């Protein structure tokens, strides 16, 4: 493993760079990430933010927020913004991040997490199970919602 998984709460100096990286990947306003990261750094259980860092640059990341822009607000919290740089895919970074996040959230008293995706077969490899279909904000079709219970 050539990368290190970090929690934003352990490296608050990375907040601006991390928010910019997630913004570049997902086109969600950078301010939305910054606001969420401020809440994380204020000591709240949710949200939380994580990154895989290799050679001083982000190669993967994800967060945990209350709701990832879907109609089932009762199914919370949600893993969100799952991303691995294309040239680093296939090396287990996303799987390692998912495991790390689930373990970290369990230590924080959260043993059930949800995740919205259109992928089939990927998350199952890491102990996630299909739970239900949800309507994403502004989406024409339903998306798959997975659940992980630690």
Q: What is the secondary structure of the chain as a DSSP string?
A: ---EEEEGGG-GGGHHHHHHHHHHHH---HHHHHHHHHHHHTT-SS-EEEEEEETTEEEEEEEEES--SBS-TTS--EEEEEEE-GGGTTSSHHHHHHHHHHHHHHHTT--EEEEEES-SSTGGGGT-EEEEEEEBTT-SSEEEEEEEE-
Q: What is the pLDDT of residues 13-45, one digit of tens each?
A: 999 999 999 999 998 999 999 999 999 999 999
Question: Which CATH number characterizes residue 124's domain?
Answer: 3.40.630.30
Q: Is the peptide bond before 47 cis (omega within 30 degrees of 0)?
A: yes
pLDDT tens for 79-113 read 999 999 999 999 999 999 999 999 999 999 999 99
Residue 57 structural domain: 4-149
Q: Has residue 1 got a pLDDT over 90?
A: no
pLDDT band at 141 (very low <50, low <70, confident <90, very high): very high
Tally of structural domains, the chain: 1
């Amino acid at each position: 493993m050539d990368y290190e998984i970090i929690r934003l709460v352990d490296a608050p100096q990375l907040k601006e760079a991390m928010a910019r990286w997630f913004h570049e990947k997902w086109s969600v306003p950078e301010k939305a990430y910054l606001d969420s990261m401020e809440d994380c750094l204020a000591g709240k259980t949710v949200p939380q933010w994580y990154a895989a860092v290799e050679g001083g640059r982000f190669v993967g990341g994800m967060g945990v927020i209350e709701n990832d822009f879907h109609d089932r607000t009762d199914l919370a919290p949600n893993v969100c913004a799952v991303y691995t740089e294309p040239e680093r895919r296939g090396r287990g970074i996303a799987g390692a991040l998912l495991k790390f996040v689930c373990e970290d959230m369990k230590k924080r008293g959260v043993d059930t997490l949800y995740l919205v995706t259109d992928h089939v077969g990927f998350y199952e490899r890491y102990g996630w199970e299909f739970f239900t279909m949800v309507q994403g904000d502004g989406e024409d079709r339903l998306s798959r919602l997975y659940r992980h219970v630690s």
